[in-house]
């Protein structure tokens, strides 16, 4: 198992591409300051520690989710939490991994 696998999944670019094609929403779990420094076009910024308070809103989107952050650790935590709550989510790892698939 990879290091990031310990945090709820790696960053499989094949899955990222599939999720993007299926209309997934990218959720960036970094701080708003980090997010303002660069992010995936069209992504939503929901800080990691507020994910539990926003889980119903995320579920109501009724879309696949790709969680991203700076390194993959925080997005892995978010992925683990959201998947336990019935969300179809993958860990995209660093946001730049996903940005290259988004126009």
DSSP string for 61-103: T-S-EEEEESSSHHHHHHHHHHHHTT--EEEEEEHHHHHTT--
Neighbours of 48 (CB within 10 A): 19
Residue 53, SS3? helix
Lowest mean pLDDT among 8-12, 34-38, 81-85: 8-12
Q: Percent of the chain having pLDDT more than 70?
A: 87
**88 pLDDT tier (thresholds 50, 70, 90):** very high
Mean pLDDT of 54-81: 97
Class of the CATH-defined domain 4-99? alpha beta
Q: Can you read off the two tokens belonging to residue 81? A: 């939490």
**1 pLDDT tier (thresholds 50, 70, 90):** very low
Q: What is the pLDDT of residues 24-43, one digit of tens each?
A: 999 999 999 999 999 999 99
């Amino acid at each position: 198992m990879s290091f990031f696998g310990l945090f709820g999944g790696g960053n499989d670019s094949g899955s990222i591409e599939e999720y993007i094609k299926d209309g997934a929403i990218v959720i960036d779990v970094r701080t708003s300051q980090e997010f303002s420094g660069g992010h995936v076009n069209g992504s939503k910024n929901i800080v990691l520690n507020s994910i539990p308070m926003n889980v119903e809103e995320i579920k109501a989107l009724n879309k696949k989710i790709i969680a991203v952050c700076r390194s993959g650790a925080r997005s892995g935590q978010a992925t683990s939490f959201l998947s336990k709550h019935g969300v179809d989510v993958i860990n995209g790892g660093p946001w730049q991994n996903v940005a290259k698939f988004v126009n």
